[in-house]
Amino acid sequence: MLTFNNISKRYQLGQQNVQALTDASGNIAKGEMAALCGPSGSGKSTLLNILGMLDMDYQGDISLADVHYPKDRMAAAKIRRSQLGFVFQKFNLVPVMSAWENVAYPLMLNGHSATEQKRLASAMLEKVGLEDFIQHRPDNLSGGQQQRVAIARALVHNPEIVIADEPTASLDSHTAELVIDIMKSLGRELNTTFIVATHDPRMASHCDRTIELLDGRIHKEAIKWAS
Protein backbone atom coordinates (compact mmCIF):
# COMPACT_ATOMS: atom_id res chain seq x y z
CA MET A 1 0.00 0.00 0.00
CA LEU A 2 1.20 3.46 -0.95
CA THR A 3 -0.16 6.20 1.29
CA PHE A 4 0.28 9.91 0.69
CA ASN A 5 -0.97 12.56 3.06
CA ASN A 6 -1.40 16.30 2.54
CA ILE A 7 1.06 16.63 -0.29
CA SER A 8 1.62 20.24 -1.26
CA LYS A 9 4.07 21.62 -3.77
CA ARG A 10 4.93 25.14 -4.82
CA TYR A 11 7.23 25.99 -7.71
CA GLN A 12 9.23 29.17 -7.64
CA LEU A 13 9.13 30.75 -11.08
CA GLY A 14 11.25 33.88 -10.93
CA GLN A 15 9.38 36.22 -8.59
CA GLN A 16 6.24 34.15 -8.87
CA ASN A 17 5.07 31.19 -6.86
CA VAL A 18 3.02 28.51 -8.56
CA GLN A 19 0.97 26.40 -6.18
CA ALA A 20 0.95 23.11 -8.13
CA LEU A 21 -0.50 20.82 -5.45
CA THR A 22 -2.52 21.50 -2.32
CA ASP A 23 -3.13 18.89 0.38
CA ALA A 24 -3.38 15.89 -1.93
CA SER A 25 -4.06 12.69 0.03
CA GLY A 26 -4.84 9.13 -0.97
CA ASN A 27 -4.03 5.43 -0.86
CA ILE A 28 -3.14 3.04 -3.64
CA ALA A 29 -3.23 -0.67 -2.85
CA LYS A 30 -0.50 -3.08 -3.85
CA GLY A 31 -1.06 -4.45 -7.33
CA GLU A 32 -3.65 -1.84 -8.16
CA MET A 33 -3.69 0.15 -11.38
CA ALA A 34 -4.54 3.73 -10.50
CA ALA A 35 -5.25 6.52 -12.97
CA LEU A 36 -4.37 10.11 -12.18
CA CYS A 37 -6.71 12.20 -14.31
CA GLY A 38 -7.34 15.88 -14.83
CA PRO A 39 -6.78 18.64 -17.34
CA SER A 40 -3.38 19.88 -18.39
CA GLY A 41 -1.77 21.85 -15.56
CA SER A 42 -3.85 20.18 -12.84
CA GLY A 43 -0.77 18.72 -11.12
CA LYS A 44 -0.59 15.14 -12.39
CA SER A 45 3.09 15.16 -13.33
CA THR A 46 3.96 17.05 -10.17
CA LEU A 47 2.31 14.40 -8.01
CA LEU A 48 3.84 11.54 -10.03
CA ASN A 49 7.32 13.03 -9.71
CA ILE A 50 6.86 13.27 -5.96
CA LEU A 51 5.46 9.74 -5.61
CA GLY A 52 8.33 8.54 -7.84
CA MET A 53 10.98 10.17 -5.61
CA LEU A 54 12.14 12.27 -8.56
CA ASP A 55 11.15 15.43 -6.71
CA MET A 56 11.89 15.54 -2.99
CA ASP A 57 11.03 19.18 -2.44
CA TYR A 58 7.43 19.02 -1.19
CA GLN A 59 5.36 19.14 1.96
CA GLY A 60 3.48 16.18 3.32
CA ASP A 61 4.14 12.58 4.05
CA ILE A 62 4.39 9.45 1.91
CA SER A 63 4.89 5.85 2.95
CA LEU A 64 5.23 2.62 1.03
CA ALA A 65 4.30 -0.54 2.93
CA ASP A 66 4.38 1.50 6.15
CA VAL A 67 7.91 2.76 5.52
CA HIS A 68 8.23 6.54 5.20
CA TYR A 69 9.85 7.94 2.09
CA PRO A 70 13.40 8.97 3.03
CA LYS A 71 14.38 12.62 3.16
CA ASP A 72 17.94 11.73 2.28
CA ARG A 73 18.79 11.82 -1.44
CA MET A 74 21.13 8.84 -1.43
CA ALA A 75 18.61 6.68 0.38
CA ALA A 76 15.89 7.81 -2.01
CA ALA A 77 18.05 7.03 -5.05
CA LYS A 78 18.60 3.52 -3.76
CA ILE A 79 14.89 2.90 -3.25
CA ARG A 80 14.11 4.49 -6.60
CA ARG A 81 16.50 2.12 -8.36
CA SER A 82 15.19 -1.01 -6.66
CA GLN A 83 11.50 -0.35 -5.90
CA LEU A 84 10.34 1.96 -8.66
CA GLY A 85 10.04 1.82 -12.44
CA PHE A 86 9.18 4.62 -14.86
CA VAL A 87 7.37 4.92 -18.17
CA PHE A 88 7.17 8.29 -19.96
CA GLN A 89 5.16 9.76 -22.81
CA LYS A 90 8.21 9.99 -25.07
CA PHE A 91 9.55 6.51 -24.16
CA ASN A 92 12.94 7.92 -23.04
CA LEU A 93 14.98 4.97 -24.24
CA VAL A 94 18.74 5.35 -24.64
CA PRO A 95 19.11 5.74 -28.44
CA VAL A 96 22.54 4.10 -28.76
CA MET A 97 21.50 1.00 -26.83
CA SER A 98 19.61 -2.00 -28.21
CA ALA A 99 16.21 -2.94 -26.80
CA TRP A 100 17.95 -5.59 -24.76
CA GLU A 101 20.56 -3.18 -23.34
CA ASN A 102 17.88 -0.65 -22.45
CA VAL A 103 15.97 -3.28 -20.49
CA ALA A 104 19.10 -4.67 -18.83
CA TYR A 105 20.15 -1.21 -17.64
CA PRO A 106 18.19 -1.15 -14.34
CA LEU A 107 19.53 -4.61 -13.57
CA MET A 108 23.06 -3.40 -14.07
CA LEU A 109 22.41 -0.46 -11.74
CA ASN A 110 21.09 -2.90 -9.15
CA GLY A 111 24.25 -5.00 -9.37
CA HIS A 112 22.91 -8.09 -11.16
CA SER A 113 25.48 -10.29 -12.89
CA ALA A 114 25.79 -10.23 -16.69
CA THR A 115 24.15 -13.66 -16.87
CA GLU A 116 21.20 -12.53 -14.78
CA GLN A 117 20.87 -9.36 -16.84
CA LYS A 118 20.68 -11.42 -20.00
CA ARG A 119 18.19 -13.90 -18.61
CA LEU A 120 15.83 -11.41 -16.96
CA ALA A 121 15.92 -8.79 -19.74
CA SER A 122 15.25 -11.41 -22.43
CA ALA A 123 12.39 -12.91 -20.41
CA MET A 124 10.79 -9.49 -19.91
CA LEU A 125 11.12 -8.57 -23.59
CA GLU A 126 9.39 -11.84 -24.39
CA LYS A 127 6.55 -10.95 -22.02
CA VAL A 128 5.92 -7.71 -23.94
CA GLY A 129 6.03 -9.62 -27.23
CA LEU A 130 9.38 -8.30 -28.47
CA GLU A 131 11.51 -11.45 -28.44
CA ASP A 132 12.32 -10.90 -32.13
CA PHE A 133 13.49 -7.33 -31.59
CA ILE A 134 16.01 -7.58 -28.78
CA GLN A 135 18.93 -6.34 -30.91
CA HIS A 136 16.98 -3.43 -32.43
CA ARG A 137 17.82 0.11 -31.48
CA PRO A 138 14.92 2.45 -30.57
CA ASP A 139 14.98 4.29 -33.92
CA ASN A 140 14.36 0.98 -35.69
CA LEU A 141 11.25 0.32 -33.61
CA SER A 142 7.74 1.77 -33.91
CA GLY A 143 6.35 4.00 -31.17
CA GLY A 144 4.31 1.15 -29.72
CA GLN A 145 7.34 -1.16 -29.74
CA GLN A 146 9.46 1.50 -28.05
CA GLN A 147 6.85 1.92 -25.36
CA ARG A 148 6.80 -1.87 -24.85
CA VAL A 149 10.59 -1.77 -24.39
CA ALA A 150 10.07 1.01 -21.85
CA ILE A 151 7.47 -1.11 -20.02
CA ALA A 152 9.88 -4.05 -19.97
CA ARG A 153 12.59 -1.75 -18.60
CA ALA A 154 10.22 -0.43 -15.92
CA LEU A 155 9.31 -3.95 -14.76
CA VAL A 156 12.50 -5.97 -15.19
CA HIS A 157 13.82 -5.45 -11.67
CA ASN A 158 10.44 -6.36 -10.20
CA PRO A 159 9.65 -2.99 -8.62
CA GLU A 160 6.81 -2.33 -6.18
CA ILE A 161 5.47 0.55 -8.26
CA VAL A 162 5.59 1.65 -11.87
CA ILE A 163 5.00 5.36 -12.42
CA ALA A 164 3.75 6.16 -15.91
CA ASP A 165 3.27 9.75 -17.13
CA GLU A 166 0.90 9.89 -20.13
CA PRO A 167 2.17 6.56 -21.50
CA THR A 168 -0.30 6.45 -24.40
CA ALA A 169 -0.26 10.13 -25.38
CA SER A 170 2.25 9.64 -28.22
CA LEU A 171 0.51 6.57 -29.66
CA ASP A 172 -2.34 6.05 -32.11
CA SER A 173 -5.51 4.65 -30.58
CA HIS A 174 -5.00 1.04 -31.66
CA THR A 175 -1.42 0.97 -30.33
CA ALA A 176 -2.51 2.75 -27.16
CA GLU A 177 -5.05 -0.03 -26.56
CA LEU A 178 -2.33 -2.67 -26.93
CA VAL A 179 0.01 -0.84 -24.56
CA ILE A 180 -2.77 -0.45 -21.96
CA ASP A 181 -3.52 -4.19 -22.19
CA ILE A 182 0.15 -5.07 -21.67
CA MET A 183 0.48 -2.83 -18.63
CA LYS A 184 -2.69 -4.18 -17.12
CA SER A 185 -1.93 -7.85 -17.66
CA LEU A 186 1.69 -7.58 -16.51
CA GLY A 187 0.61 -5.55 -13.48
CA ARG A 188 -1.76 -8.35 -12.54
CA GLU A 189 0.72 -11.13 -13.24
CA LEU A 190 3.59 -9.54 -11.31
CA ASN A 191 1.39 -7.87 -8.67
CA THR A 192 2.97 -4.52 -9.48
CA THR A 193 1.23 -1.27 -8.61
CA PHE A 194 0.79 1.09 -11.56
CA ILE A 195 0.16 4.81 -11.16
CA VAL A 196 -0.68 6.30 -14.51
CA ALA A 197 -1.24 9.97 -15.30
CA THR A 198 -3.51 10.14 -18.31
CA HIS A 199 -5.79 12.22 -20.49
CA ASP A 200 -6.98 9.07 -22.21
CA PRO A 201 -10.47 8.02 -21.07
CA ARG A 202 -9.81 4.45 -22.25
CA MET A 203 -6.75 4.24 -20.05
CA ALA A 204 -8.74 5.52 -17.09
CA SER A 205 -11.58 3.08 -17.78
CA HIS A 206 -9.15 0.16 -17.51
CA CYS A 207 -7.87 1.26 -14.10
CA ASP A 208 -9.02 -0.05 -10.71
CA ARG A 209 -9.01 3.42 -9.22
CA THR A 210 -9.24 6.91 -10.63
CA ILE A 211 -7.97 9.97 -8.81
CA GLU A 212 -9.07 13.23 -10.38
CA LEU A 213 -7.05 16.39 -9.94
CA LEU A 214 -8.24 19.92 -10.58
CA ASP A 215 -6.07 22.97 -9.91
CA GLY A 216 -3.72 20.90 -7.75
CA ARG A 217 -6.42 19.41 -5.54
CA ILE A 218 -7.92 15.97 -5.57
CA HIS A 219 -11.58 16.60 -6.19
CA LYS A 220 -12.88 13.15 -6.96
CA GLU A 221 -11.81 9.61 -6.32
CA ALA A 222 -13.48 6.47 -7.58
CA ILE A 223 -12.67 2.84 -6.88
CA LYS A 224 -13.91 0.05 -9.06
CA TRP A 225 -14.13 -3.56 -8.06
CA ALA A 226 -11.48 -5.48 -9.91
CA SER A 227 -13.07 -7.08 -12.95
Q: Per DSSP, what are the bridge partners of residue 209?
A: 34, 223
Interaction of residue 193 with Mg ion, rule CB under 5 A = no
Smaller CB separation from ligand ADP, 55 or 116: 55
Query: CB of 33: closest distance to Mg ion in angstroms?
Result: 18
Tell me how far apart the alpha carbons of residues 77 and 72 are, in angstroms, rounded to a whole number: 9
Size of the site for ligand ADP (CB under 6 A): 12
- Among ligand ADP, Mg ion, none, the one that 41 touches (CB under a kind-dependent 5 to 8 A) is ligand ADP
Per-residue string for binding with Mg ion, 27-56, x by CB under 5 A? -----------------xx-----------
Q: Which residues make beta-bridge pairs with 194?
A: 33, 162
Our finding on whether 13 is near ligand ADP (CB under 6 A) is yes
The Cα–Cα gap between 46 and 131 comes to 35
Least Cβ distance, residue 176 to ligand ADP (angstroms): 18
d(CA 89, CA 221): 24
Among the listed residues 35, 37, 45, 122, the single contact to ligand ADP using CB under 6 A: 45
Looking at the chain, list the stretches that DSSP marks H as alpha helix, in order from N- to C-terminal side. 44-51, 73-83, 99-109, 114-127, 143-155, 173-190, 201-206
Among 4, 24, 33, 44, binds ligand ADP (CB under 6 A): 44
74 binds ligand ADP (CB under 6 A): no
Contact call for residues 167 and 183 (beta carbons, < 8 A): yes
Specify the 3-state DSSP secondary structure of 90: coil
CA angle 96, 97, 102 (to 5 degrees): 140
Least gap, CB of 187 to Mg ion (angstroms): 21
**Does 50 interact with ligand ADP (rule: CB under 6 A)?**
no
Residues of the shown chain interacting with ligand ADP in the complex, contacts defined by CB under 6 A: 11, 13, 18, 20, 38, 40-46
**Interface ranges with Mg ion (CB under 5 A):** 44-45
